[in-house]
Structure 1
Amino acid sequence: MPKRSNKSKRSLPESTEQWLTVAYKPVSLFSLKRSDATSMAARSNLVPTPYAIKMAVLKVLLENEGFAHSTDFDAWINNEFTWIRDLQIFVQPPERLIVNRNGYKLRYYDQTADKADKNRPTVPMQDGFVFREWVYLEGNLQICFGPTVKVEELQQLLAQINYFGKRGCFFQYLPDATQITATPQFTPQPNQSFIVQLMDDLGAKTKFSKINPYSNEKAQLDKDRVIQTGFLPLELVASSAKYDLYQRK
């Protein structure tokens, strides 16, 4: 019998870029200071930004696999950081959000006391008024990642994240709501009713050493950490001195 020709066989690509959509259920109030906020007065972002989400992914990656790569850490983390940095992230807010405004009076340490003139008296503790916002999210938060060939690895990391923003702003991962598609499930639509939110993200050419707090290299704004305008499909339906109520369109 004649041998079958191998020319008829077509080799499939080893991996293709896909989009991963996951969902989280908020289980506590959410708060994440805006990039332009001060330490004493800070308004909160309505949803986690791409920068905050990528840092959460890096945190889980380092906690789980960092010790196993202690001998080749630099090469390993640079490779892992690159594909996480290059992810595009779209955020779909829950059905309703309520922003609660709060003011606190507290005593805080005067950071200039140690640098002050030693010959004059200083007051190490000062009274101050702090303004903060806390967001109640009603419904599930959806996040779309891509395009990437590391869908399985990314999904495993996202399943271990339990908070975004401030520590204590807990979210529960919903495995049944995970979707893998060839195109993103949702993208920003400025032609709809929307709320503008500043979205910070990692720069396209930044390195892990720039965002590593233990490194001597310093991150530069608009280079290693970029701030862009984001659009959220939300409509402000009620407002007062104490709260804002948004509803998703």
Structure 2
Amino acid sequence: MYSVKMALLDAAFRKGIDGREVFPWIRNLDIRFEPPKQAIVNNSFIKIQTEPKDKKAGPAFISSVGFREYVFFDGELAIAIQTKELTEQLVFLLKELLLHLHYLGKRGSFLQATNQEVRQELGESFSSYLGEPASFSECVVMQYLDDMGPKATFESISSFDDASAKMGRDRVMKTVFIPYQQKRASRDFTWYSREKG
């Protein structure tokens, strides 16, 4: 949820809209996901360049090893956003901003919009939060996903401000149930599917 909201703020800036104006209603959006039918997560150790602890002496970057998970999706990732609390004008702006999303997160997970539609109900193929009444599919994967807290300020989430985000206030972790079942796993990969059997 956090990365979608940050991407919406980025899209607003690229459209010439001040992010401070749209931040309050973007922060409060209720976002759910319908994962693709299949997903394979590859576990990889890769060589990366990092800044040294002592930045004054030596090279600007040093070679290191980092753990990365790369996900291959088979199908489409659907993002559902609750618009009941938004005015008609804000819904129109949200639809525009969503068309300008080309990545989520800072590691370059690229995406492309295919269509937009209005639904009255989401069904069991979408994610749900712990503690809310929901109809689950037969299998779910529990995951902790970060979101913006209701008291978060624009300054606290901005990379260009000195204020730092506090966990529990500006960034909150939510327990999310994703309608996946683990089909197979090894040290190198995990295969998830929404299909039964």
Amino acid in structure 2 at the alignment position of 1:144? A
Question: Hey, what does 1:14 align to over in structure 2?
Answer: none
Q: Distance in 2 between matches of 1:209 and 1:127?
A: 33
Give a deviation string over 1:13-60, Cα, whole Å, max 9, x none.
xxxxxxxxxxxxxxxxxxxxxxxxxxxxxxxxxxxxx00000000000
Please tell me whether residue 111 in structure 1 is matched to residue 53 in structure 2: yes
Which of 54, 67, 70 is the aligned partner of 1:134?
70
Question: Hey, what does 1:5 align to over in structure 2?
Answer: none
Q: SS of the residue aligned with 2:109?
A: coil
Amino acid in structure 2 at the alignment position of 1:89? I
Amino acid in structure 1 at the alignment position of 2:10? K
- Bigger Rg over Cα: 1
Which region of structure 1 is more displaced relative to structure 2, 98-107 or 219-228?
98-107
Please give the residue correspondences for 1:10-159 in structure 2 after superposition, counting only pairs within 5 Å: 50-66=1-17, 77-106=19-48, 108-114=50-56, 124=59, 126-146=62-82, 147=84, 148-149=86-87, 150-159=90-99
Question: Hey, what does 1:19 align to over in structure 2?
Answer: none
Amino acid in structure 2 at the alignment position of 1:129? V
Amino acid in structure 1 at the alignment position of 2:119? T
* Deviation of the 1:80 alpha carbon: 1.3
Structure 1 unaligned residues grouped into runs of 5+: 1-49, 67-72, 115-121
* Deviation of the 1:101 alpha carbon: 1.4
Q: How many residues get paired? A: 182
Q: SS of the residue aligned with 1:100?
A: strand
Q: Distance in 2 between matches of 1:203 and 1:215?
A: 18
Which of 103, 107, 119 is the aligned partner of 1:181?
119
Give a deviation string over 1:78-132, Cα, whole Å, max 9, x none.
4411111111000110000011111124564422353xxxxxxx76565532211
Contact 1:113 1:123 in 2 (8 A): yes
Q: 1:207 to 1:127 in 2, by over 3 A?
A: closer
Q: Distance in 2 between matches of 1:159 and 1:106?
A: 32
Please give the residue correspondences for 1:150-229 in structure 2 after superposition, counting only pairs within 5 Å: 150-175=90-115, 178-184=116-122, 186-188=126-128, 189-190=135-136, 192-229=138-175
Structure with more relative contact order (C-alpha pairs < 8 Å, separation 6 or more)? 1
Q: 1:57 to 1:106 in 2, by over 3 A?
A: closer
Structure 2 unaligned residues grouped into runs of 5+: 129-134
Instruction: Give the TM-score taking structure 1 as reference length.
Output: 0.66
Q: SS of the residue aligned with 1:103?
A: strand
Which region of structure 1 is more displaced relative to structure 2, 79-88 or 91-100?
79-88
